[in-house]
Chains A and B, each alone.
Chain A
Amino acid sequence: MLVYALQVAFGLFSLALLMNIIRLIRGPSLPDRILTLDTIYINSLALLILLGIWHDTAFYFEAALLIAMLGFIGTIAAAKFLLRGDLIE
């Protein structure tokens, strides 16, 4: 059962990433694109966790945690840049 569930989940997350990429290309504004990049980060870290279950290994955990942290910092930095036109005040 878990094998099929994982395959379905892989499919759903890949479709989600595909829709994100459409939104990334269509825009229309910069905040939209930043939001989409944030969503892409979160979806890919979920894919990494699923891959960890698939291969039965905990090694992907650190990578997923790092993606979560870097994704957050990146989103904040980009949003701050849009707000101020400057990163460090």
Chain B
Amino acid sequence: MTELPVWADWVISFFIILGASFAFIGSLGLLRLPDFMARLHAPTKNTTLGVGGVIIGSILYFSTTDGLSLHELLIAVFLFLTAPISAHLLAKAGLHLELELSENTRDFRTKPEQYSDKDD
């Protein structure tokens, strides 16, 4: 590692720690939450933003050490575009397989057959 100005040192450290904490909480949620649909929330939101924080740290580090470097943004953009899509498909799969929901889930569907994937 090369020497950094003091402000950059602190700012980069802040973003990296913030990102790592979010990713940690995301995985904790994956472990702790009661049913599949609830567990879906943690990785799609928290882990994605956690990686976003790490990527901001990386951009700042390489931009201060050797010239503007923005290519890490590609990973961030890609993750933020794809996270909702994979979450949506997994939620569809969960509904399709009729996974058990936790007992305090309230169902406000008026026409459940509207959302079933069955071809009957």
Contacts and interface: CB of A to CB of B under 8 A. Distances in A.
Q: CB–CB under 8 A between A and B in the complex? A: yes
Interface of A: 1-6, 8-9, 12-13, 15-17, 19-20, 22-23, 29-32, 34-36, 38-39, 42-43, 45-46, 49-50, 52-54, 56, 58, 61, 64-65, 68-69, 72, 75-76, 79-80, 82-83
A61 B59 CA distance: 11
Interface string B17-47: 1011101101110110000100110010001
Contact of A75 (B27, B90, B97): B90
B111 interface: no
Contacts of B82: 68, 72
Given A39-B30, A53-B57, A79 B16 contact: no
Given A39-B30, A39-B47, A83-B93, A16 B24 contact: yes
Contacts of B69: 58
B30 A5 contact: no
B interface: dominant SS:
helix
Contacts of A8: 17, 20
A68 B31 CA distance: 22
A46 B26 contact: no
Nearest to B87: A35
A46 B93 contact: no
Contacts of B86: 38, 72, 75-76, 79
Given A20-B30, A75-B89, 8 more contacts: A23-B30, A31-B90, A42-B23, A49-B58, A49-B72, A61-B72, A68-B82, A79-B92
